[in-house]
Amino acid sequence: MNLDTPLVYVKGVGPFRAEMLEAKGLVTVNDLLHYPPFRYEDRTNLKPIEKLAPGEMATVIVEVQATRLPKAGRKNLGMFEATFGDGSRYKLLGKWFHGAYLANVLVEGTRVALYGKVEFDTYTGELLMMHPEFEPLSAGDEEGDHSLHTGRVVPIYEAAGKVSAKLLRVITRRILDSVTPPDDFLPSQLREQMKLPSRWDAMRTIHSPPEDSDLRLLNAFRSPAHLRMIFEEFFWLECGLALKRRKAKTVEGVQFQLTERVREKIKAMLPFKPTGAQKRVLGEIAHDMAEPHPMNRLVQGDVGSGKTLVAAEAAIIAIENGYQVAVLAPTEILASQHFAYFKALFQKLGYAVVMLSGSYRPKEKAKLRQLIEQGLAHVAVGTHAILEDDVKFKKLGLAIVDEQHRFGVMQRLKLMEKGAKKPDVLVMTATPIPRTLALTIYGDLDTSVIDELPPGRRPVVTKHVFDSRIEEVWSFVGREVQAGRQAYVVYPVIEESDTTALKAAEKMYLHLRDTVFPDFTIGLLHGKLPQSEKEGVMADFKTGRIRILVSTTVVEVGVDVPNATVMVIEQAERFGLAQLHQLRGRVGRGGNQSYCLLVTEKLGETARDRIRTLTESNDGFHIAEMDLRLRGPGEFFGTKQSGLPTLRFANIVRDSELLEVARTEANAFISHPPSEEALRRAIQYIRDHWQRRYGLVQVG
């Protein structure tokens, strides 16, 4: 057996269990060895029955003396009971709900090792274990010597379907006992320098800890074995990203000329004086675009910081050099906003801006595709429709991708393939990403941050209100609207396919329209409306005809109505921090004081932390850090398309210091490898082993 052996061929797995393991991403022996326990239990507290004390966790070596399966009934839930003895006069009772299957396992005379919490049965006066872990012992076993599940420090795995943690221990032990020890590809000099154990020793320790293991270090993922595997994951990730950056520098791109005409066009387009941060970021973009290889730059900026204006300036550089610009947005509403924005800015410059959407009729699409292919459209704004094979550009020079984390990495690459030469790529996000995470997800991109809001913007006042005081909220909204302002009321339809939630939003819209605000014009916006209706509702809201807009989260990004001063978010406890911050960013875009009212039911501890963070801070990057800590990196974006690797051992938040070390060492290794052979081996390892499991880095 070797690391590439499919799990289906491991004894005890078979096709049925292999399918369940595959659903967890576990296909080969190597995958299972990279599936660490999420915690460990100390089951070395081996005692005779007479020494057991209620409340403690303990292991006992006992023999089944009697079993009982009460008649089926609602109260006993198929309870299986067994009485155990250890040769003394003391007895121990074991009980299992739904345990009828144990009648053929725990037969009288069977020696077993039991592990569980000791309780006192007030009815019988006996000591009791409810649902203890057990392992039958053969006649020759010494007390616990060969037990996988008791009498030792036991690894606890997350079950994979019907493949239980107990079965995973058995399968993993079989693999450890029979697999050929893997080669260690981590550079030996680095391993010695950091005093890391070998890969094989680390794997054996993680899956089968020795008796003298420090349980605290194991459970904190801070044992030497864990630190070795965490560092290895980060090291290969960072090596892959460093190789991508190095390879990108060798690709031929468009070398844009920054002429006086370009500068004059930018000045003529600007609607207001840019902030210092916008000037700095444009300088970084312009420098990249003047290089002979493609730009790959991420522009981060909090809501309302003016990222789109900077993107428009970059577009002018491309257009004035005779190239086209593609703008990719994740939703039709956001694409429509970009289309309107670019069209208004570029109208006086004589640039043609078109929009391509999946909801357009075939004839409309064909006409737009023709304009793009003939080069008559300087800027093409679109959703995923712009990625279709039949959309061809005459001379694509710049690709702008908004809210990149909503797209797959491959979609960005597909857009890049539409240029004769590799176009420059500008990625924008209004979702502030903590530096550590940004360097991991977007490690192949250079990063710019617009950390300054345009002058005149006031921080949004954020208040938390329990739903029992909703009438006060509506009174406040009424006063603001009466004063000539506008308001959003957002309901938590997380998935637009959620028909029940959509109906709830529609019901509340009717209630507000007919009962609460009969004197104001109220609109309804959600993802299932036809595109023409969405655009009509948004146009009416922007012009002020609609005073209050009831909406789902389709207004989360891109909607810009400066006169809107109130954002009411119903059931705010159901949203993540980043999403709440995005919704809040729809107000405060004009000169008037704006407000965000977070309406909730009773709050749990985590939800309370989220709400408190919003009410205390308007800093998107601080909020993103808190969101990352509260939800963890795996859920931070709410999508696996973000490009974030599924790390098995490492955790970007918990292990951020080790990530920084790994990044430094990886960059040094790729820049100055000990030998060409060492670099070649590393690249081959990333291609053959690491790349398939994490699916992020393509190194050629």
Distance CA 463, CA 582 (A): 16
Note the CATH architecture for domain 45-151: Beta Barrel (2.40)
Q: Which two tokens stand for residue 532?
A: 């023409």
CA distance 585 to 558: 9
Q: Contact at 8 Å (CB) between 579 and 501?
A: no
Instruction: Please state which CATH class domain 260-450 belongs to.
Output: alpha beta
Q: For residue range 440-472, what is the model confidence (pLDDT) as tens digits?
A: 666 777 888 888 777 767 889 999 999 999 999
Residue pLDDT, tens place only, 132-186: 988 777 654 444 344 677 778 889 898 888 888 888 999 999 999 999 898 898 9
Confidence bin at 77 (pLDDT 50/70/90)? low
Q: What is the pLDDT of residue 700?
A: 45
Q: Is the dihedral of CA 608, 614, 617, 620 positive or negative?
A: positive
Residues 209/153, Cβ–Cβ less than 8 Å? yes
Predicted confidence band of residue 315 (pLDDT cuts 50, 70, 90): very high
Side chain identity at 562, as an amino acid letter? P
- Alpha-carbon distance of 394 to 138, in angstroms, equals 76
Listed in sequence order, the residues at least 6 apart from 435 whose beta carbon sits closer than 8 Å to its beta carbon are: none
Return d(Cα 72, Cα 77) in angstroms, integer: 7
- pLDDT of 516 reads 93
Q: How far apart are CA 578 and CA 556, in angstroms?
A: 10
Phi, psi of 457 (to 5 degrees): -75, 135
pTM of this prediction? 0.68
Q: Phi first, then psi: what are they for 439, rounded to 5°?
A: -70, -20
DSSP letter assigned to residue 353: E
Q: How many CB atoms lie within 10 A of CB 633?
A: 23
| pLDDT, tens digit, 9 for 90 and up, residues 33-53 | 999 999 898 888 788 999 999
Do 260-450 and 461-617 come out as alike in CATH topology? yes
Helix (H), strand (E) at residue 318: helix 307-320
The CATH class that applies to domain 461-617 reads alpha beta
The domains of the chain are located at: 45-151, 181-250+656-700, 260-450, 461-617
- Contacts of residues 677-685 at CB distance under 8 Å and 24 or more positions apart, as own/partner, are 678/187, 681/185, 682/185, 682/187, 682/239, 683/243, 685/185, 685/236
Residue 237 clears pLDDT 90, i.e. is over it:
no
Q: What digits encode the pLDDT tens for the residues 496-507?
A: 556 666 777 788
DSSP 166-198: HHHHHHHHHHHHHSPPPP--S-HHHHHHTTPPP
